Amino acid sequence: MQDVKYVKPKTLQEAVSILKDNGPTARVLAGGTDIIVMARERRRDTSLFVDIKAIPEMNGIHLDESTGLTIGAATPLYLCYRDPMMNQRFPSIVDSSSLIGGTAVQGRATLVGNLCNSGPAGDSIPTLMAMEGVAHILGPNGERDVPVVDFCTGPGRNVLELGEIVVNLHFPTPRPNSSGRFLRFIPRNEMDIAVVNCSTNITLDANNVVTHARLAIGAVAATPLFVPAAGEALVGKALTDETIAATANACRDAATPIDDMRGSIRQRKHLAYVLAERTIRDAVHRIRGEHTEWH
């Protein structure tokens, strides 16, 4: 382990100035479930941990029906999946939150930490994309909003500049008659990194016609991928086996995976298809109040 100092600021401005004054080896510590491991293994040069958990604006979950959902950057995963409102209105965020790590990890880890770690297989990122998430950022030069679809720029890399901190994630209020689903494939039923993951958010009208659809897939490219062509293959069409297959094909075509110890290119492209199809069908089951098919 490196010789790392630790501070726990109580305000956002204090956190931003500490980060700016201490340069790139000062690291935000949210849950610490990625950054402590990386610092210990010397995969990230780290001189200072800036713990954000005591900053009030960075904690909590708040839904305003007119403006949408805000999740503070320091909010642990377990508070997301234990919240009855989240289960009812944002089930795909609950899917992602409840399968990252195990109980111990979920007691500390955050959605924003998963996003800022910017791993290609991060299990919340496709969901944050499908749900139209926007990262609200504060830095030495002021505030800015970055849609999650534009946030990750490469494996472990993102748009954050020196001194910048993600304050919260914001999502629009779910449309009536809409729902979402996240699924991942792992080779065994233990904690593991996804071979492929996928999240879908879909809205139907009274005639079973899709009025809005967003799909995103992970572990198939250098960053998690939002796939606009997949949503376009569904919108304005009735939900049939053919339209679902066209959408799943769009996900398979968008995937540009690598071969590695977890899966081959062929298997990952196939999984992109399968998970897209299953998440669409499950999201529709949820809209209709039926049980989901896949676990």
Residue nearest to ligand FAD (CB): 113
Selected from 150, 191, 256, 260, the binder of ligand FAD by CB under 6 A is: 191
The H or E element spanning position 28 is strand 26-29
Structure tokens at 101: 């790590």
Cβ-based neighbours of 143, under 8 Å, separated by 6 or more: 136, 137
How many other CB atoms are there within 10 angstroms of residue 190's CB atom? 7
Nearer to ligand FAD, 103 or 207 (CB): 103
Rounded Cα distance, 23 and 27, in Å: 9
Q: What is the DSSP string of 233-244?
A: TTTTSB--HHHH
Q: Which is nearer to ligand FAD, 99 or 244 (CB)?
A: 99
Helix axes 241-254, 265-287, angle to 10 degrees: 140
9: contact with ligand FAD by CB under 6 A: no
Could you tell me the two tokens for 237?
Answer: 């069409």
- Write the DSSP symbol of residue 83: -
Pick the piece of the chain touching ligand FAD (CB under 6 A) from 30-38, 170-178, 262-270, 284-292.
30-38
First CA to last CA across the chain, in angstroms?
Answer: 38
Report the relative pairing of strands 225-226 and 196-204 from DSSP bridges. Answer: unpaired
Residue 66 CB, shortest distance to ligand FAD, in Å, is 26
Asked if residue 126 binds ligand FAD (CB under 6 A), the reply is no
230 binds ligand FAD (CB under 6 A): no
| Residue placing its CB nearer to ligand FAD in the complex, 47 or 178 | 47
Asked if 95 touches ligand FAD (CB under 6 A), the answer is no
Answer for which of 16, 26, 31, 91 binds ligand FAD (CB under 6 A) is 31
- By the rule CB under 6 A, 224 interacts with ligand FAD: no
Q: Between β-strands 5-7 and 48-51, what pairing exists: parallel, antiparallel or unpaired? A: parallel
- State which of residues 9, 68, 101, 139 lies at the interface with ligand FAD (CB under 6 A): 101
Residue 75 binds ligand FAD (CB under 6 A):
no
Binding site for ligand FAD (CB under 6 A): 27-35, 37, 52, 73, 100-101, 105, 108-110, 112-114, 116-117, 122-123, 160, 165-166, 191
